[in-house]
Amino acid sequence: MRLSLVLFVCLVALTGCLKSDGKFEVKGTVTYDGQSVGDGMIVFMPLKGEPGGSESTDIKNGGFTVRLPEGKRTVQVFGYRPGPEIVSPTGGQPQSTKEQFIPEAYNAKSALSLNAVKGMAPLLYELTKPEPNIPGK
| For range 128-136, the mean pLDDT | 76
Q: What whole-number distance in Å separates Cα of residue 9 and Cα of residue 18?
A: 14
Break the chain into its structural domains and give their ranges. Answer: 23-127
Inter-CA distances, 59 with 42, 65, 78, Å: 7, 8, 9
Beta bridge partners of 4: none
| For range 102-114, the mean pLDDT | 96
CATH of 23-127, one of 3.30.379.10, 2.60.40.1120, 3.40.720.10, 2.60.40.1180: 2.60.40.1120
pLDDT digits (tens, 9 = 90+) for 31-49: 999 999 999 999 999 999 9
Q: Minimal CA–CA distance to 130: which of 98, 94, 102, 100?
A: 102
Whether the predicted pLDDT of 137 surpasses 50 = yes
